[in-house]
Structure 1
């Protein structure tokens, strides 16, 4: 039994193809809708699975082609993040057999596939599959790494992407002196479509590692949003996903995590570090002219449209490049517009990890770096 799956996002097609092949189906995938139509004619599949929102032509145009032009009754299943009632109605009026809304379970996709075209003869009915979720959006996450051989929580990363499709992790090795690069390459084995290792031969600091990773990931066409996260997972991936949900369901262009202590949240900091942090944040709010509670949290997500504005030029400072990002956005859009597109979201969990690269001495140096930012970006708004 042959299945043709058409979706412009590769991160959606890969786990779908793997699951259906495991079940015994023959699967052909295509990210280009026009080529998908050509494949339909040559492959003559038993089932077509198609997304609606694609950049060249709509998935509904593919449905029209199959039903009206080819006069075919080939079963069609739509997997889409489009929840518009008129769109769903139009799909069924054109003759689709099933319509599933993302995010959705691969287990459910498999069950509905069996209902539509039956089970392959070689299918193992006793086999149990993990309940992987296909997300509505695709997200790139940059993780800067410097001498993380002992601290990298490899299993937490791999477990998450195995259970949540739509995530592509980009580990940036920032000229590590230990075996970090080897650890990262081992982490990538078997998950090459979901993990990238970007190697910087020389150590350039966290700011440059993040910048290089963000610019690299912005070139990947199937990603909707791109963010960065600390390698020690002081902010975990579940909390990061909450930031993603906020940006995809709002008009915000940047959503930044915030380590604000509040009821129901697990936020821990060293007391001395907390005092210095409060002092620095007061100065930062004065520079940005925005009431940010915590600019330095290492978890942020960006709409692709603001990546170039935020990361095109090298940063002036090493540790507080986050402040520079917000300053660049303010200069580009103006203060009032910047306030509308920037969001600070409290985290449910943040734990200070042992082995942090930022010492108390570095914290004191930050005050001087804030002076550099104030001087470098002292000009008025650039719109």
Structure 2
């Protein structure tokens, strides 16, 4: 039994292809709807699995081609994040056999496939992709790394991308002097579609590592959102996914995690670092007139259309580039618009992890970097940001 799957997001197709092959189906995939139509003619599938929203042409047009031009009645399964009732009704009117809404489990998709075209002959079936969740969006996550060989041995990275389709991790090796690059190469082996290693020969600091990683991932056409996260996983990937859900279901262009303590949240940090953080945030609000609760949280997610605005130019500081990101957004969009597109979302968990590369001496240097930011951006019109940014 042959299956043709068409979706313009490769990260969605990969686990689907692997699992259906494990079950014994012959499957080919295509990220181009137009090339998918060509494959339909040559491959002659028994089932077509199809997305609705694609760049070249819509899934509706593909359905019309199959049903109206080719006069074919082969089963068509829609797998889409589009929940517009008019679109769903049109698809069924055109003769689709099933309409699955993302996100959904890969197990459910396989069960519905068996219902439509039957199951292949029994074989020794692996369970590697049995519990994968197929998302309706694809996300790139930049993780800066400097001498992180021990932290990167954490299985939480690989476990997460196995169970959550639609995530692509980009580890940026910032000129590490230990075995970080070697560990990253091993981590990527066999997972090349889900993990990228961007190697910087010289150490340029976290700000530059994040900037280069964000610009690199912005070139990936199938990613909807791109963010960054610390390698120590003080904010874990599950909580990062909460930030993604917020930006996905809102009009915000930037959602920044916040380590503010609140009921129901587990937020821990070292005493001295906590005090310094409070002082730094106070200075940020006073010098830069930015009333964010926590600009320095290392978990942020962006829509692709603001990546160039926030990251195209090099940052003037090494550690507090987050402040520069928000400053650039305000200068580009203006205060009123910035309030509408930027928000902070309190994290459910944030755990301080020992071994930080930011020393106490570096913390005191941050004050002078704030002055440097103020001077650098002074040539632009002074903008005062009030304390009523959207706060989830």
**TM-score, scaled to structure 1:** 0.98
1:314 and 1:359 map into 2 onto residues whose CA distance is 23
Deviation (angstroms), 1:279: 1.3
Q: Is the 8 A contact 2:288 2:374 kept in 1?
A: no
Matched, 1:40 2:43: no
Flag the 1:154–1:288 CA change in 2: closer, same or farther, 3 A: same
Tell me how far apart the structure 2 counterparts of residues 87 and 145 of structure 1 sit (CA, whole Å).
44
1:209 paired with 2:217, answer no
Q: What residue in structure 2 maps to residue 313 of structure 1?
A: 313
Superposed CA deviations along residues 215-273 of structure 1, whole A, max 9, x for unmatched, are 00000000000000000000000110000000010010000000001111111112222
Report the equivalent of 2:323.
323
CA contact (8 A) 1:290 1:339 kept: no
Q: Which residue of 1 aligns with 2:276?
A: 276
Structure 1's 127 and 222: CA in aligned 2 closer, same or farther, altered over 3 A? closer
Q: Contact between 1:254 and 1:342, CA under 8 Å: does it hold in 2? A: yes
What residue is the counterpart of 1:143 in the other structure?
143
- How far is 1:367 from its partner? 0.4
Give the match's secondary structure for 1:227.
strand
Aligned equivalents of 2:91 and 2:382: distance in 1? 46
Equivalent-residue separation in structure 2 for 1:377 and 1:286 (angstroms): 15
Deviations 1:296-337 (A, max 9, x none): 000000000000000001100000000000011111011111
1:128, distance to aligned residue in structure 2 (A): 8.3
Instruction: Compare 346-355 and 118-127 and name the one that shifted more.
Output: 118-127
Note the alpha carbon deviations across 1:134-189, whole angstroms, 9 max, x for none.
00100000000000012224310000000000000000000000000000000001
Partner of 2:134: 134
- Aligned pairs for 1:2-151 (under 5 A) are 2-124=2-124, 130-151=130-151
Deviation at 1:379, TM superposition (A): 2.7
Q: Report the Cα distance in structure 2 between the residues aligned to 1:271 and 1:70, rounded to whole angstroms.
A: 69
**Residue 333 of structure 1 contacts residue 382 of structure 1 at CA under 8 Å; is this kept in 2?**
no
C-alpha separation between the residues in 1 aligned to 2:128 and 2:120?
16
- Contact kept in structure 2, 1:175 and 1:201, CA below 8 Å: yes
Q: For structure 1, which runs of at least 5 residues remain unmatched after alignment?
A: none
SS at match of 1:152: helix
Partner residue in 1 for 2:337: 337
The correspondence of residues 364-379 of structure 1 with structure 2, limited to 5 A, is 364-379=364-379
1:158-177 matched pairs, under 5 angstroms = 158-177=158-177
Alignment coverage as a number of residue pairs: 383
Distance in 1 of aligned mates of 2:372 and 2:167: 36
Deviation at 1:125, TM superposition (A): 7.3
Within a 5 Å distance, the mapping from 1:161-310 to structure 2 comes to 161-310=161-310
Cα RMSD (Å) of the superposition? 1.5
- Contact 1:142/1:229, CA 8 A, preserved across alignment: yes
**Whole-angstrom CA distance in 2 between matches of 1:44 and 1:17:** 17
Distance in 2 (alpha carbons) for counterparts of 1:207 and 1:380: 22
Structure 1 range deviating more: 225-234 or 122-131: 122-131
The answer to whether the 8 A contact 1:106-1:133 is kept is yes
Unmatched tracts of structure 2, length 5 or more = 384-392
Secondary structure of 2:378 counterpart: coil
- Where 2:152 maps in the other structure, the secondary structure is coil
Deviation at 1:100, TM superposition (A): 0.1
SS of match in other structure, 2:255: strand
Q: Any conservation in 2 of the 1:258–1:293 contact (CA below 8 Å)?
A: yes
Change (3 A) 1:22 1:331: same
Partner of residue 359, structure 2: 359
Report the CA distance shift for 1:276/1:214 in structure 2 as closer, same or farther (over 3 A).
Answer: same
* Contact 1:281/1:295 (<8 A) preserved: yes
